[in-house]
Amino acid sequence: MSVSIDLSGKDALVTGGSRGLGAATARVLHEAGCRVALNHPGTDETTTDAEAIVAELNGVRTKSAMAISCNVSDADAVQSMMGELKADWGGIDFLINNAGIIRDRTLAKMSREEWRAVMDVNLDGVFYTSKHGLEVMRDGGAIVSLGSIAGIVGFFGQANYAAAKAGVMAMMRVLGRECARRGIRANAVAPGVA
């Protein structure tokens, strides 16, 4: 992929950066010149995946990527992660809220634990990373959060996921207004199924 924007000297945090859209986003930001921090929840698989991507990116440009293990549903851990980024890089310019999980089941069969698990990561996690990310974000930065077409139209068996993603999209509309005076943009994208 050829990237035509120059983001040299900028720093980005991508939550859920060890796989899928998060990993792809981290690679594109890196190709554009960013230093990237790949957040992952710290499981054996995500740690291995994140470390492989970091090695790949650092092979292209030395000290341009790092992995940070943090469960985004833990507010204290998120605050510590942001403190680490502030200490290491002086702050961030971009926050990509990509971390997410699914626990699909019809509403009638969905357990409270399945509901709560999705809300904790997909909605509360975006709140925590955005709140504490703003504390270390440079003026003129940007927050991009992953919503979903499910949050607009709703899909069978995804009440928890759809509710969380609709909340993320609403949160970004509010955050965009609240951060405008610092020149920080906040937006959501809503990927769908192909």
The rounded distance, in Å, linking the Cα atoms of 28 and 22 is 10
Q: Which of 161, 164, 165, 172 is catalytic?
A: 161
Catalytic (active site) residue 161:
yes
Sheet holding 185-189, edge to edge: 65-69, 35-40, 11-14, 92-97, 137-146, 185-189
Query: Tokens in use for 34?
Result: 């960013």
Whether residue 32 contacts residue 2, with contact meaning beta carbons closer than 8 Å, is answered with: no
The radius of gyration of the chain's CA atoms, rounded to the nearest angstrom, is 16
Quote the Cα angle for 150-110-113, to 5°. Answer: 100
Q: Which long-range contacts (CB under 8 A, 24 or more apart) does 176-181 make?
A: 179/134, 179/143
**Catalytic positions, please?**
161
